[in-house]
Amino acid sequence: MTQEETGLLFVISGPSGVGKGTVGAALRKKNKKVVYSVSATSRSPRPGEIDGETYFFKTKEEFEAMIEAGEFLEWAQYIHHYYGTPKKFVFEQLEMGNDVFLEIEVQGAMQVKKSYPHGIFIFLLPPDMEELRQRIKNRGTEDDEVIARRLSVAREEIEMMRNYDYVVVNDQVDLAVSRIEAIITAEHCRQERTYNRYIKWFKEE
């Protein structure tokens, strides 16, 4: 399959609390063709999170065995836990022509950029830092030490946005979703992804 016939791989990163999950859920609801990859993690489930849907919840040992077996497209340690994208599902979906979304932190995104340079990298930003602090606090699932740690990582992550192709501000979920849909449409219209399809018209004459 050529690059033009496979689906596109989109990577979305952004600081903890920016609303990646909410935006992702709204995008999936609106656009049924979008496929999200389910990551594996060694962190414990938060209330309401479902194994196999939110994440594949693994022990540290199970996760390390998956690393050894080469099962990840990328993996990273974030705060005290492992997070990784299982490779098989992503490539199967791309081969089927589906667009795949990875919602991952910046170190993992940079690994994907190296191994899959055709990926499209989107950075989600909060409207301002105070809003981000409030969103992490309001979630109420993390203790003060983890909140402080997540905010300091957020500062470092925002520096990394220079390595991304697009920046989307999540001021309102529906607006952020429309911006991401515009990016999907634009990427499908890129000349280098469509040229061979059209030049075939003349080859077949």
Site residues (CB under 6 A) for ligand 5GP?
16, 20, 39, 43, 74, 76, 78, 83-85, 103-105, 108
Which parts of the chain fold into alpha helices (H)? Answer: 20-30, 60-68, 87-95, 106-115, 129-139, 144-159, 173-188, 191-203
Angle between helices 173-188 and 191-203 (to 10 degrees): 40
Torsion angles phi and psi, residue 140, rounded to 5: 65, 15
Nearest distance in Å: CB 104, ligand 5GP: 3
CB 25 within 8 A of CB 102: no
Q: With left for phi above 0 and alpha for psi between -120 and 50, is residue 156 left, alpha or beta? A: alpha
Nearer to ligand 5GP, 48 or 203 (CB): 48
Nearer to ligand 5GP, 49 or 193 (CB): 49
Q: Residue 70: how many CB atoms within 10 A of its CB? A: 8
Nearer to ligand 5GP, 78 or 101 (CB): 78
Q: Is beta strand 56-57 parallel, antiparallel or unpaired with respect to 40-41?
A: parallel
Nearest distance in Å: CB 163, ligand 5GP: 14
Nearest distance in Å: CB 142, ligand 5GP: 9
Nearest distance in Å: CB 190, ligand 5GP: 26
Q: Is beta strand 100-103 parallel, antiparallel or unpaired with respect to 9-13?
A: parallel
Nearest distance in Å: CB 151, ligand 5GP: 13
Residue nearest to ligand 5GP (CB): 108
Nearer to ligand 5GP, 6 or 37 (CB): 37
Cα 161 from Cα 11, distance rounded (Å): 12
Nearer to ligand 5GP, 99 or 157 (CB): 157
